[in-house]
Chain A
Amino acid sequence: MTIGSDLEVVDMDVVLDLRGLDALIRVLAQDGRVVVGPVLRDDAITLAELGSADDLPGGWGVETGPGHYRVRRREDEAVFGHSAGPQSWKRFLHPPRRALLSSDGTGFHAAPESPVSYAFFGVRPCDLAAITKLRQVVGGPAPFVVAAQCTEPGEVCFCSSMGCGPGAGSGYDIALTERVDGDGHRFLATSGTEEGAAVLTRVPSRPAARHDVELADRDVAAAAGRMGRSMPEVDLRDLLAANRDSAHWEAVAERCLTCGNCTMVCPTCFCVSVEDRTDLDGNAERAQRWASCFEIDFSYLHGGAVRTSGASRYRQWMTHKLGTWHDQFGTSGCVGCGRCIAWCPAGIDITEEAAALARTGGGRP
């Protein structure tokens, strides 16, 4: 499989209807991929294997806010008319638990690699950026990516101020832009790789007219102006480096539950802890599981944890996300998907906290 990156841009836009969309899912599955996309489940739009376009959450939208998420009926039957949900593609690229190796005491054996090859269906631009950032750290085989450009940002979204949306940047094989209007329910499809182009030739479509492309561009451009939030326009890396000793961390700590929800829902948070397991026959297994810098033992050194206060743990998370990620990986760790805002039970808002730091200036020297 080719890597879903900006290898070669093949300009061959087409328009699919729902039937075409369904065919696209089936073609991807026929080629042996597990197609994962949004579904309505447990009062939320989560990610699960798709069998057909019927599995998509047609007609469902969401209402989000700090510490708040509700699904709601839409007026149209749009399938991608919802912003980021409780799950991200991280679950598939970097599963919550993964076996690493086994040991019998004299030999060590790598755990088998997962044979699954994924097609991610309906990846929002923020998440597309997140996939790139995450894979930069954890590696692994590239998924086939069908992006869905964002025409409907939510209340907690701020991808445009992170430079990660609402248009799909690089990294997709196919990008879709959905539109429901008097002319029907349709998807403008653009291929980003040769493989994407080849797949598109196998589904029923009509060539895209200039009008289709213009409408899509307009919808996406309009979305940029409808983000519920934005990051302050300062150099975040400098801001956080300068605010290591800010009194503001204590103020956040009063509200922060140190529950770790923000890190778990974040599509780029990659930290893991290693667990050792032994059975009664003397065999041992090592596995990794999602960890969170909010866990008290996360920073454990012999004798005790380094970061015990809530303030230091919140500072670690936010500083890493927006600041030191640049030092470590040359880019921001945040894509502006807004999940940490919506799924923080306390509704702590990373953009608000950044703004508060920016207001107080550089903090104490």
Chain B
Amino acid sequence: MTSWVPTPCRVVERTVETHDCVTLTLRPVTGSLPAFRPGQFAMLYAHGVGEIPISVSGIPADGTLVHTVRAVGAVSRALHDAAPGTVIGVRGPFGTAWRLDGVEDLLVVAGGIGLAPLRPVLGHPSRRTVLVAGARTPEDLLYAGDLLALSDVDVVLTVDRGGHDWHGRVGFVTEPLASIPLDPERTTALLCGPEPMMRFCARTLLGRGVPAGNIQVSLERSMQCGIGLCGHCQLGPLLVCRDGPVTGYPEAEPLLLAKEL
């Protein structure tokens, strides 16, 4: 049962990203946690409130963990509000990671908070990376300043609704996908966002000749344990906490197409 017991970690830094998102840097109060890989997640426990799955949004080399949390309900709100010094419980790493071995051109497509689990794959100097990120409004764009500063990444930002001082794109992330230059055979696409978004994006990419096997998605289901015991995260044959969240599109597509699966 020790697998249920979190490691106490202290919030050492809290960065406000948007009106409802913060990035927390956590350091184990004592000892260390096993290394996380991009795409994996932790179960973060807010004392007395609850525990939820949150991806790693950064993997510093100093043994800290970085997570970006969007406040949507009680637990995520409590984590969002955790001031530096607060102790948070961490279990993990859990789940599958983005498969990056042998990747030539990397296309990263993120919707909203979906950018968080993808941030750790950005900025790898040895490969060409294109990032297409969407958000509801310019104010909801995560890490916007940092992203534009990344030298090795072509960044395309788009929002559902712009404002006076927004000069970028307005529309869904699928639109730039239809037109950005890419070499389909060489491209590996990583998608994370709402299910319909991932489906539409994958369709667009398939239409452009990207092989289905080159597309990876990050799935989301209710998770209460992270260790294949609670059963909530089932999506057809998958236990998403164990067999996901990162899944090849050929495997995921039929599951995403089934109603209420």
Binding site for B on A (CB under 8 A): 100-101, 103, 105-111, 113, 137-138, 241, 244-245, 270-274, 276, 278, 282, 284, 286, 288, 291, 293, 298-302, 306-309, 311-312, 316, 319-320, 323-324, 327-328
Contact = CB atoms under 8 A, between A and B. Distances in A.
Given A276-B50, A328-B239, A108 B230 contact: no
B234 A320 contact: yes
Contacts of B47: 103, 105, 284
Interface string B189-211: 00000000000000000000000
A299 B222 contact: yes
Contacts of A244: 236, 254, 258, 261
B232 A273 contact: yes
A273 B243 CA distance: 20
Nearest to B194: A303
B4 A306 contact: no
Contacts of B2: 110
A312 B259 contact: yes
A111 B229 contact: no
Given A106-B29, A271-B231, A302-B73, 9 more contacts: A110-B5, A272-B231, A276-B50, A299-B221, A299-B232, A301-B220, A316-B234, A324-B236, A328-B243
A274 B231 contact: no
Interface of B: 1-2, 4-6, 8, 29, 45, 47-51, 72-73, 87, 89, 220-222, 224-225, 228-232, 234, 236-239, 243, 254, 258-261
A105 B1 CA distance: 19
Given A110-B4, A273-B232, A302 B72 contact: yes
A308 to B, nearest CB: 7
Chain A interface main SS type:
mixed
B221 to A, nearest CB: 7
Contacts of A100: 1, 4-5
A286 B236 contact: no
Nearest to B232: A298
Given A100-B4, A105-B87, A312-B259, A278 B48 contact: yes
Contact of A110 (B1, B51, B89, B229): B1
Contacts of B261: 244, 306-307, 312, 316
Contacts, number: 112
Contacts of B72: 302
Contact of B260 (A106, A306, A320): A306
A291 B260 contact: no
A271 B231 CA distance: 5
Nearest to A278: B48
Contacts of A111: 1
Contacts of B230: 271-274, 288, 291
A113 B1 contact: yes
A276 B49 CA distance: 7
21 contacts: A101-B4, A103-B89, A110-B2, A241-B237, A244-B254, A245-B258, A245-B259, A270-B229, A271-B230, A272-B225, A274-B224, A274-B230, A276-B50, A286-B51, A291-B232, A299-B221, A306-B221, A311-B260, A312-B259, A323-B237, A324-B236
B191 to A, nearest CB: 18
Contacts of A306: 221-222, 260-261
Contact of B222 (A110, A137, A272, A298): A298
Interface centre among B50, B229, B239, B258 (most CB of A within 10 A): B229
B117 to A, nearest CB: 16
B231 A293 contact: yes
Contact of A301 (B8, B48, B51, B222): B222
B3 to A, nearest CB: 9
Which 9 pairs from chain A and chain B are nearest by CB? A271-B231, A327-B237, A312-B260, A284-B48, A324-B237, A278-B48, A105-B47, A274-B224, A100-B4
Nearest to B2: A110
A308 B49 CA distance: 26
A105 B259 CA distance: 41
Contacts of B222: 298-301, 306
Contacts of B50: 274, 276
Given A103-B48, A105-B47, A244-B261, A274 B89 contact: no
A183 to B, nearest CB: 49
Contacts of A293: 231, 234
Contacts of A319: 236
Given A244-B258, A278-B48, A101 B5 contact: yes
Given A270-B231, A273-B230, A286-B51, A308 B260 contact: yes
Given A312-B259, A312-B261, A103 B1 contact: no
Contacts of B45: 103, 108
Contact of A107 (B8, B73, B220): B8
A105 B236 contact: no
A103 to B, nearest CB: 5
B51 A274 contact: yes
Contacts of A113: 1
Interface centre among A107, A108, A270, A288 (most CB of B within 10 A): A108
Contacts of B6: 101, 108
A273 B261 CA distance: 19
Nearest to B87: A106
A72 to B, nearest CB: 36
Nearest to B50: A276
A154 B243 CA distance: 38
